[in-house]
């Protein structure tokens, strides 16, 4: 069997006497129930119902399997109830660090859904582009952009990877157009991320893409870059997942010579078995992996 949910449709048809009545009671289409019953019969190699003009009646095989199916359904319901109770029982405080841009554009819906499932877990959010020290307890869990952590004491997984794009507000694009090549960037006001601290290879690459003579603004956070681009002050380099989430932003058809942006969720080895930490990491990972399309590597 590929889908345990087919048992639910078997029980519904047996109870209501037809696929039409079962569909009405379950608020799904009749064709869906018909297909799932056919799939269940094919998987079992048995005919469960006799189709008559008056409705569906159980075959001898169907009648023999009905009480077993009912017990399976009860067990699944019990499993779901126990899982929900265990979720509610997970308690504690988790300090989560994330870059400002991720906190603003990715985490809000994730946190809301997590809190609904784990009401006894309190979250402390640290919005910073700095890499917090997990070993010293600056945070319990961190979302980090960049390559895989090399420290063997850190545990985690990659959530997504994405390309950076040249972004503009829709108003700016309508008024001035979008560049079609890297050379065209010199004809536009540019907003270049200028983080504090020593130069990095990524910063050197940004400088190469956005030459000094065209740069009109140098924000020191990515959140400020988003705000400036949204305000129509010029073009900025942003992760595509940010642009895709902003209705008033568009991006130019330019492939930038920049590395793929990776987002990792990590914790320190000594915290990985903490129930609230594990619950948060699993939940955030499942949400991001389901919601975020992956860029071509």
CA distances 179 to 183, 235, 260, Å, are 8, 9, 21
d(CA 141, CA 276): 10
SS3 219: coil
Question: Residue written as tokens 């307890």?
Answer: 137
pLDDT digit string, tens, across residues 170-186: 999 999 999 999 889 88
pLDDT at 6 over 90: no
pLDDT of res. 262: 84
Overall average pLDDT of the 282-292 stretch: 83
pLDDT digit string, tens, across residues 92-123: 899 999 988 888 888 888 999 999 888 889 99
pLDDT of res. 17: 92
CA distances 201 to 242, 254, 258, Å, are 22, 21, 10
pLDDT at 64 over 90: yes
d(CA 77, CA 61): 24
pLDDT of res. 287: 86
Continuous segment of H or E residues that includes residue 25: helix 19-26
Question: Residue written as tokens 């930038």?
Answer: 256
Q: Which residues pair with 169 in a beta bridge?
A: 249
Average pLDDT over the chain, rounded to whole?
87
pLDDT-derived band at 87 (thresholds 50, 70, 90) equals low
pLDDT digit string, tens, across residues 225-257: 999 999 999 999 998 888 988 899 999 999 888
pLDDT of res. 129: 79
- 242 half-sphere exposure, CB direction, 13 A CA radius: 27
pLDDT at 36 over 70: yes
pLDDT of res. 297: 44
pLDDT at 223 over 60: yes
d(CA 6, CA 207): 57
pLDDT digit string, tens, across residues 133-182: 999 989 999 998 877 788 899 999 998 888 889 999 999 999 999 999 98
Q: Collect all residues with Cβ–Cβ distance below 8 Å to 35 and sequence separation of at least 6.
A: none
């Amino acid at each position: 069997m590929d889908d345990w949910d087919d048992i639910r449709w078997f029980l519904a048809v047996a109870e209501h006497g037809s696929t039409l009545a079962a569909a009405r009671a379950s608020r799904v289409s009749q064709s869906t129930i018909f297909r799932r019953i056919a799939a269940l019969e094919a998987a079992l190699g048995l005919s469960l119902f006799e189709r008559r003009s008056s409705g569906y009646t159980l075959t001898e095989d169907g009648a023999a399997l009905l009480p077993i199916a009912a017990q399976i359904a009860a067990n699944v319901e019990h499993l779901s109830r126990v899982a929900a109770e265990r979720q509610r029982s997970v308690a504690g405080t988790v300090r989560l660090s994330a870059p400002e841009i991720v906190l603003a554009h990715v985490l809000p819906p994730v946190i809301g859904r997590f809190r609904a499932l784990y009401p006894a877990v309190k979250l402390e959010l640290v919005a910073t582009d700095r890499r917090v020290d997990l070993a010293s307890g600056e945070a319990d869990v961190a979302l980090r952009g960049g390559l895989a952590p090399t420290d063997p004491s850190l545990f985690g997984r990659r959530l997504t990877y994405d390309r950076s794009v040249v972004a503009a507000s829709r108003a700016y694009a309508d008024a001035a157009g979008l560049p079609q090549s890297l050379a065209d960037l010199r004809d536009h006001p540019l907003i270049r991320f200028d983080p504090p601290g020593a130069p990095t290879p990524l910063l050197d690459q940004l400088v190469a893409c956005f030459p000094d003579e065209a740069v009109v603004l140098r924000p020191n956070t990515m959140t400020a870059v988003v705000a400036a681009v949204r305000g129509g002050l010029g073009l900025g380099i942003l992760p595509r997942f940010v642009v895709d989430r902003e209705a008033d932003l568009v991006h130019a058809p330019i492939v930038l010579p920049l590395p793929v942006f990776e987002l990792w969720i990590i914790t320190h080895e000594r915290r990985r078995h903490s129930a609230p930490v594990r619950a948060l990491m699993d939940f955030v990972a499942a949400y991001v992996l389901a919601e975020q399309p992956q860029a071509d590597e």
